[in-house]
Amino acid sequence: MNKPARNTLSLVAIALLAAAVLAACGPGGKAKGPAPAAPAATEAKTAQPPVLAPLPPMGFNTWNKFGCDVDEKLIRETADAMVETGMLEAGYKYLVIDDCWQVDRAADGRIIADPQRFPSGMKALADYVHGKGLLFGIYSDIGPKTCAGRPGAAGHFDLDAATYAEWGVDYIKVDWCNCDDLDAPAEYARFRGALDRAGRPIVLSICEWGRNDPWTWAKGVGQLWRTTADIGDNWASVVWIIGANSRLADAAGPGHWNDPDMLEVGNGGMTFDEYKTHFSLWAVMAAPLMAGNDLRAMSAETRSILLNKEVIAVDQDPLGVQGRVIIERGYGGQVWMKPLADGSRAVAFVNYSDRELAQYVRWAQIGIPAGPAKVRDLWAREDMGVHSDTGKHYNERFEVKVPSHGVVLVRIWPGA
């Protein structure tokens, strides 16, 4: 009885082995190679290009101080000054030539730099700027003519973008003069496309003065956009721009910044306190910090403002949040708050009136827990100690005295 069973089992085993060989070899009888690996559960994502201007751009632009009076000597000397004065170390890296560097177009349409003012050419000048560790910026206009009547970019977007990439341009400010009959979102998007096709990462500064509400469409097109008309070197202009830009905080963030225009610090039209307020509010609003004074001849006061690294750190905070007005006082006082990446708060007490004002804030108003907090005055560069506000008593409020047209800017760390 056992022998037939073993024979039956042998036949079954042979049949199974034959089936396995057939499965491995297939109908043709030839052995197959290893089975292909199963597709990965997730495909590797296409590498994304780095975000341009993840922090508000910092640098220098020629227009506020020099207007059309620009040349190669000025740019080389300014590049030298940006290194020698500590501006580069403080974060100012873009050196931007505004309007009036260009004079014509060649027969092939290529833009021509003024050969009298820039005899070495723009490529050589960009190389010099890059050699200093800086980045090189230039200016154009969406329309046929710039604001100063020089050749604009209209009809030459791709050629200009390729030319600028060839020169080594890192940043371009594009104006809106002679463009009233054009569609701003469409034209700037076309220009952005031309820059992308040129193959060089170039920051695009959209300068249409807020006429077409760029904060509603320019994200992904430009890295910064002007929100107002041009700044003037006077207190009234700065106050007006602060008010206009303050309403647009939701539009700002890494790679897309509201631009209330270039700095006037050091140009002589305002007091020391007014310039500190100007610089402080640009920092609290996470605005681009583009110096517009003569960097070759800065006073000690001007240096103390432009090179204050603690105030610059507020502007350059990686959280990328534009500060907001949290208290509006009817007698000329205002309190701003900007949350920072480490959990601290930058708080600016601003005085628009013509007399000294006492101003205060409670911890609950700036979103930090009741109890002790460390406070530092960023302009005095001094610790103000630990202040406790439990929220239970009126006399626990944090109070400062602010000079006329001035500011007190503090940084507050909760739980100190």
DSSP string, 303-343: HHHHT-HHHHHHHT-TT-PPPEEEEE-TTSEEEEEEE-TTS
3-state SS, residue 285: coil
* Selected catalytic residue, list 71, 213, 230, 377: 230
Q: Cβ distance 178 to 145 under 8 Å?
A: yes
Instruction: Classify residue 253 by its DSSP letter.
Output: B
Instruction: Tell me the CA distances in angstroms from 110 to 101, 113, 164, 352, 393, one per residue in order.
Output: 14, 10, 10, 49, 70
Report CA 413 to chain centroid distance, whole Å: 25
Tokens describing residue 364: 């609950």
Buried b (16+ CB within 10 A) or exposed e, 120-139: eebeebbebbeebebbbbbb
Q: Specify whether 175 is catalytic.
A: yes
Buried b (16+ CB within 10 A) or exposed e, 146-175: bbbebbbbbebbbbbbbbbbebbbbbbbbb
What amino acid is encoded at 377 in this protein?
A: D
Strand ranges (E), 352-397: 357-361, 371-377, 382-389
Q: Cβ distance 56 to 255 under 8 Å?
A: no
Q: Cβ distance 214 to 229 under 8 Å?
A: no
Identify which of 186, 187, 197 has the alpha carbon closest to the alpha carbon of residue 140: 187
Instruction: Classify residue 348 by its DSSP letter.
Output: E
Q: Specify whether 230 is catalytic.
A: yes
Q: Cβ distance 172 to 164 under 8 Å?
A: yes
* Selected catalytic residue, list 175, 294, 317, 389: 175
Instruction: Classify residue 84 by its DSSP letter.
Output: H
Q: What are the residue numbers of the active site? A: 175, 230
